[in-house]
Amino acid sequence: MRQLQPDTLIKNPQGKPLVSSVVIACNASKLWKVVGRFEGFDAFIPALARITMTGSGVGSLRKKHFHDGNIAVEQLNCRDELAMHMTWTTIYNTLGVARLWAAMSVESLGENLARATWTIIAEPVTAGDNEGFEQFIQDFADRALDNVCHLLG
C-alpha cells in the first residue's frame, strides 16, 4: 500500500491582479473600521444577506451568504491593524470561482483623506472565460467600494 503524503486543494490563483480603489474624505482609521472588518463586508456589499464567522483573527473563516442563495467560505491569511491591510483566500464557493486571493488596504493621504484599495486575483471554474469573469470581479469590487463612499461620504 502506498504511503499517503501531505496534500491540499488550496492553491494560489494565477492571473493579473484586478484593482479597485477609492479616495474618501475621512481619516484612514475611520475608513479601515469599515473595509478592514473581515466579518463586516455585508455593511457595504448589499448582495450579502449575512456573514457567519468561525474563529477570530488570522486563520478564521467567514461564510458569506448571498441573497441569491450563493455562498463563499474564505480564510483570513494575514491582518495588520497598524499597517491597515489584510489578505484572504476563498476556499469554497458556489459562484463559479475556482481560486481567489484578495487583499484590502487603507492608506492615509492626509488628515482627512484616505484611500481604500481592494486587489483580487481570481480564476474562473470554466477555463477560457477570463474576460467576462474578470469584468464580473472588477464590477463587484468597484460597486462595493462605491458603497463605502456613500457610507462615509
How confident is the model at residue 6, as a pLDDT? 87
Q: How far apart are CA 65 and CA 87, in angstroms?
A: 20
Residue keyed to cell 474562473: 124
Query: b vs e for 108-126, b when ≥16 Cβ sit within 10 Å of the residue's Cβ?
Result: eeeeeebebbbbbbbbbee
Q: How far apart are CA 54 and CA 75, in angstroms?
A: 10
Mean pLDDT of the chain: 94
pTM (predicted TM-score): 0.93
Domains and CATH numbers, the chain: 18-152 (3.30.530.20)
Q: How far apart are CA 125 and CA 65, in angstroms?
A: 20
How confident is the model at residue 15, as a pLDDT? 86
Q: Is the sign of the CA dihedral 12, 17, 20, 23 positive or negative?
A: positive
Round to the nearest angstrom and report the end-to-end CA distance of the chain.
Answer: 64
Residue-wise pLDDT for 39-95, tens only, equals 999 999 999 999 999 999 999 999 999 999 999 999 999 999 999 999 999 999 999
How confident is the model at residue 129, as a pLDDT? 67
pLDDT at 10 over 90: no
Helices (H) and strands (E) in the chain, counts: 2, 7
- The answer to whether the CB of 114 falls within 8 A of the CB of 23 is yes
Residue keyed to cell 491593524: 81
